[in-house]
Amino acid sequence: MTVNPYKIAYQREKKARLEAEQLLEDKARSLYITNQELIDSNKELKKHQAIMLRNEKLATIGTLSAGIAHEINNPLAFISSNLEMLNTYWASCTDLFSELQRLIQSGAFSDDIILHLNTLIERYDMVFIHEDTPELLADTVDGLVRVKEIVQNLRSFARSQPTDYIEADINQGIQNTLKILNSQIIDARVSIRLDLQPISSVMCNSGEINQVLLSLIVNATQAMEESPTKKLTISSRGNAEQVEIILSDTGCGIPQDKIDDIFSPFFTTKDVDKGTGMGLSIAHSIIGGHGGEIDVTSKQGQGTTFTIKLPTMVNSQPREVKNT
């Protein structure tokens, strides 16, 4: 049988071409996978870079906040003291003016003196001053209280030392916080659903953690004011390394172009009289100070979910809780 050299050459060329095509396909696939890995790594790198920049920003603002709070607190103390004395002085002036008006009306003075006194009262608008000053003083006191709250928030935001850490049951903290806010929750007609799993204890400043929980629950309640369905779900779960607390509301949600700013100090989507914009930044600072994380996801018109992650205590046993 005669072997056709052309056929052998063709088969050899065909085999070589198929091998080359397979090699090219393998290389292309490998390049595609590598490219996707690079894209994912770049996204992750940018995410961590943004977190680092935000944390650096918060740390800088924390240091600045501590100084500002200290500088404001000193004059605030004597302003508060002076305002208290001013209220006392005004009470005496009010009594004196009321007595003067009584004497004028009773005819205790001569007509010339009464005319002169009435002229002075009208010229300096003393009746209006007598009526308006108490309201001005009350507004000033309210403003001073608000400044004190801002200063306290600044000091809380700047606090980073792990003081007063104790072994705490986070589930119990959730239930205690709900008891404190029970009246507000009822007035807002918010339905609460608890799904608290047995979790390990956490070494923490329980007062600060409860402060975070209170702030998030109040925010959720306010976010659901205009919602047809007002439901707040609070759940907990954990493993050997950490516990998670998840708070999900059915409120108005947070716009996507603002969600990256919600942990920034003084940033708020609320009306001026409803918030200082410090609650979430303080919450972020507290959770970060405990070695934990706080994240948020939100859809406008559907609701918001906050997830808190805290490290657990070693060798601590989960505790049973009652769910409602």
pLDDT at 52: 66
- In this structure, of 94-98, 219-223, 257-261, the range with the lowest mean pLDDT score is 257-261
Residue 121 pLDDT exceeds 70: yes
Judge whether 316 lies within some domain: no
- Let me know if residue 321 belongs to a domain: no
Asked if 313 and 167 touch (Cβ cutoff 8 Å), the reply is: yes
Kindly state whether residue 35 falls inside one of the protein's structural domains.
yes
The model's pTM is 0.53
Instruction: Give residue 231's pLDDT.
Output: 96
Query: Does one domain contain both 88 and 173?
Result: no
Q: Looking at the structure, do residues 13 and 133 belong to the same domain, yes or no? A: yes
113 and 69 housed in the same domain: yes
| Cβ–Cβ under 8 Å, residues 251 and 219 | no
Q: Is residue 189 part of a domain?
A: yes
Same domain, 133 and 204: no
Find, among 248, 243, 293, the residue nearest to 47 by Cα: 293
Please write down the HEC assignment for all residues of 39-81: HHHHHHHHHHHHHHHHHHHHHHHHHHHHHHHHHHHHHHHHHHH
- Which of 100, 135, 158 lies at the terminal end of a domain, its last residue? 158
**CA dist 76 → 64, 69, 81, 96, 166 (Å):** 18, 10, 9, 30, 33
Query: pLDDT exceeding 90 applies to what percent of the chain?
Result: 25
Flag whether pLDDT at 60 surpasses 70.
no
| Boundary (domain end) residue, out of 158, 181, 210 | 158
What confidence tens digit (pLDDT) does each residue in 256-269 have? 888 888 887 776 76
Question: 239 falls in which pLDDT band (50, 70, 90)?
Answer: confident
Mean pLDDT across the stretch 55-60? Answer: 60
The continuous run of DSSP H or E covering 160 comes out as none
Question: Both 44 and 135 in a single domain?
Answer: yes
Same domain, 89 and 175: no
Torsion of CA 15, 16, 18, 19, to 10 degrees: 120
Instruction: Judge whether 89 lies within some domain.
Output: yes
Task: State the Cα–Cα distance between residues 217 and 278, nearest whole angstrom.
Answer: 15
In a domain, 318, yes or no: no
79 plus 174 within the same structural domain: no
Lowest mean pLDDT among 17-26, 96-105, 160-169, 229-238: 160-169
The token pair at 186 is: 């009822």
Q: What is the mean pLDDT of residues 84-112?
A: 89
Domain end residue (candidates: 158, 193, 217) = 158
pLDDT at 322 over 60: no
CA-based torsion, 180, 181, 184, 187: positive or negative: negative
**The Cα angle at residue 110 between residues 107 and 112, in degrees rounded to 5:** 125
146 and 221 co-located in one domain:
no
Residue 239 CB neighbour total at 10 angstroms: 10
Please give the residue that has the higher pLDDT: either 158 or 191: 191
Q: Which domain holds residue 81?
A: 1-158
Confidence of residue 276 (pLDDT cuts 50, 70, 90): low
Can you tell me which residue has the tokens 């608008």?
A: 125
As a whole number, the mean pLDDT across the chain is 82
pLDDT value at residue 320: 46
Domain annotation covers residue 8: yes
Domain of residue 254, CATH code: 3.30.565.10
- Residue 130 reports pLDDT greater than 70: yes
What share of the chain has pLDDT > 70, as a percent? 82
pLDDT value of residue 237: 95
Same-domain pairing of 144 and 202: no
> Could you give the number of structural domains in the chain?
2
**pLDDT at position 41, please?**
86
Instruction: Report the pLDDT value the prediction gives residue 154, as an integer from 0 to 100.
Output: 64
For residues 119 and 142, state if they share a domain.
yes
Q: Are 137 and 223 members of one domain?
A: no
Least confident range from 69-78, 137-146, 153-162, 202-211: namely 153-162
The yes-or-no verdict on residue 318 having pLDDT over 50 is no
Q: How far apart are CA 39 and CA 43, in angstroms?
A: 6
CB 250 within 8 A of CB 227: yes
C-alpha 203/C-alpha 302 separation (Å) is 35
The lowest-confidence range among 49-63, 186-200, 220-234 is 49-63
Q: Does a structural domain hold residue 323? A: no
- Does 139 share its domain with 180? no
Pairwise CA distance, residues 1 & 8, whole Å: 14
**Looking at the DSSP assignment, which residues form a beta bridge with residue 195?**
235
Segment 169-195 mean pLDDT: 91
